[in-house]
Amino acid sequence: MSTVLVLNGPNLGRLGSREPDVYGSANLEDLRLLLSASAPEGVTVDVRQTDDEAELIHWLYEAVDTGVAVIINPAAFTHYSYALRDAAALVTKAGLLLIEVHISNPHARETFRHTSVVSAIATGVIAGLGFDSYRLALDYVTRER
Ligand code: DQA
């Protein structure tokens, strides 16, 4: 049995009601169900969300300490949190997979969203495909783990 951590940053707890024109009408529980249904036999998908930068960082330490792959939507932290980037780098430096995902395509939006301080240390990036961004990331990490 192995686990994949699916970490979500600030404001993603409001999926479903937050800007449905951008993020759709499905919520985090729908994401949890989708990923659990998509996970291969023997893989547990642990979907978490926090608005707290420190908590997100501590979950990345947990991934390093327990040796699990990470799918992360850092939300707005993507664009400016060097602290999150440094913690995410610990994951990939430990030889673990870390896929950065986004529901929307940040490059097609406001200029401040065009910068990701996380992408350079991520294993890969998937953006703009709605919840399929997570599903494709899960497919990759469960094949590569
Ligand atoms: C997001 C894109 C970010 O720019 C934004 O701050 C989010 C969500 C996405 O999934 O499309 O909160 O990461």
| 8 Å CB contact between 38 and 139 | yes
Beta strands in 91-142 (DSSP E): 98-102, 124-127
pLDDT bracket for residue 145 (50, 70, 90): low
Structure tokens at 93: 């430096």
The answer to whether the CB of 103 is under 6 A from ligand 1 is yes
Whose CA is closest to 39, among 71, 72, 87? 71
pLDDT bracket for residue 17 (50, 70, 90): confident
Q: 77 pLDDT exceeds 90?
A: yes
Domain count, the chain: 1
Q: 74 pLDDT exceeds 70?
A: yes
- Residue 87's alpha-carbon distances to 51, 60, 108, 118, in angstroms, are 16, 6, 27, 10
Annotated binding site for substrate: 73, 79, 86, 103-104, 113
Instruction: For residue 87, count other CB atoms closer than 10 A to its CB.
Output: 22
pTM for the model stands at: 0.97
- DSSP 3-state of 102: strand
CATH for 65 = 3.40.50.9100
What phi and psi values does residue 47 have, to the nearest 5 degrees? -90, 125
- C-alpha distance across the termini of the chain, in Å: 12
Average pLDDT along the chain = 96
Q: For the segment 105-126, what is each residue's pLDDT rounded down to a tens digit?
A: 999 999 999 999 999 999 999 9
- Domain with 30 in it: 2-144
- DSSP 3-state of 15: coil
How far is ligand 1, taken at its centre, from the CA of residue 49, in Å? 13
Whole-angstrom distance, CA of residue 2 vs CA of residue 58? 20
The answer to whether the CB of 102 is under 6 A from ligand 1 is yes
